Structure formats: structure tokens, C-alpha cells
Amino acid sequence: MLIQSRPVDPNSAAHERVYRALRTRIMHGEVMPGQAMTLRGIGKEFDVSMTPAREAIRRLVAEGALFLSSSGRVSTPELSNERIEELATVRAMMEPELATRALPRAHFALIERLEVINQGVSQMVARQDAPGYIRMNLEFHRTLYLRAQAPAMLAMTETVWLQLGPTMRALYGRLNRKDPPYHHKLILAALKAGDEPGLRLAVRTDVTQGLRMLKG
């Protein structure tokens, strides 16, 4: 007996494509805080109808990546000091734990990969490429945290990164960074030494110090 496969809903496929593209753009700081988005603009850019554009926006609003005002305006969030502090605290709790869980599996090949990624981070700093820097910096952390084998914790962490993307872009512009992240070197050194307390401290400081400079 032949089993017929269920036809693919073109709107579902289109909305997933739009959602993934916008999610990546926001997480990597390719948009600034408060930047407006319209269904018409999204539909035109991605060559889709209003339905998949609306569904992608709905999912991103639910994740805190976009803000929907009472008037219906959709924009990237402009985070208050309290919200920045809250998200920095979440990062300070989650990411050292992910790094600690990854430590027993931090073999030479992983450390070598992290060193290569960190070279890419330095290159983006030298180019003053803010979205490129944010993308490579998150790749550094994600590559380490994947070894934690804690998918639920990593998914929660990525949601925080998503909410912070535009704010991180604003932070990069304020800091006018010219040097690569110092604490990445400490993270790598702690991994090589198997130093769990040193790793936790380096990760915690790395993921929170910049955000707290935005307050004020």
C-alpha cells in the first residue's frame, strides 16, 4: 500500500525562512534598538505574502526579539536599565554553568577550534565590524556550550542573546572597541588548565561587563 506524504504548506515553509533570517539578523545586532519593521517591508524583502511575514513577527514578539506596541507598531526593543540588568544576571547564571558542564569534554580539538574562532573575533574588531564581531563572539560561546550537552539550557541562553542583539550593537558603538575580548584569553587558559573556578569567573565577567556599561 502506498503511503501518501502530506503536502508541504508553502506558507509554513516561507514563514520559517523569514523567521530564521530575521532571528539571525536581530541576534547578530544587524538592527539597532527601536528600529521599526513592517509587514509590507518584510513581505517585499523576502518576496512572501502577509501571512508568513505576520507569523514570523508573531514568533519573534513571543521570544522578546521584537516589541509590539498598543498601536500595532513593531520594532526591536529598547531595553531599560532594569531589563539589561535582568538579562545580564541570567547570562551570569546560565553561561558559567554551561561552560562548567562543557569542561570535561574540552579536548584539544575544541580548544583549537575556539582559538581559531577567537582570531576571527579579533579580525572583526580590527575591521570595526559590529555585526561581524557579535556573530563571531556568539559563535565562540556557542561552540563551547554545545559541549555541555544541555540543549534546554543552551536554548534559553540563545533566547537571551536574541533579546540582547540590538542592545549589543548599541553597546559596541558606545565602547568603540579596538582590542579583542581579554576574557576570551582567560577562558581559553582555564580550559587548557582544567580550571573550573577560573573558567566560571572568566565566562561570568566576559558576558556581563559590557552590558553593565550600558546602564546609566
Q: Where are the domains of the chain?
A: 10-75, 81-213
Q: Which CATH number fits domain 81-213: 3.40.30.10, 1.20.120.530, 1.20.120.1230, 1.20.1280.50?
A: 1.20.120.530
When pLDDT is cut at 50, 70 and 90, the band that residue 8 belongs to is: very low
> 10-75, what's its fold?
Arc Repressor Mutant, subunit A (1.10.10)
How far is residue 83's CA from residue 81's CA, in Å, rounded to a whole number?
A: 5
How far is residue 139's CA from residue 192's CA, in Å, rounded to a whole number?
A: 19
Query: Model confidence over 34-78: pLDDT tens digits?
Result: 999 999 999 999 999 999 999 999 999 999 999 999 888 999 999
Query: Model confidence over 95-121: pLDDT tens digits?
Result: 999 999 999 999 999 999 999 999 999
Nearest Cα residue to 11 out of 50, 39, 40, 41: 50
**DSSP calls for 41-90:** HHHHHHT--HHHHHHHHHHHHHTTSSEE-TTS-EE-----HHHHHHHHHH
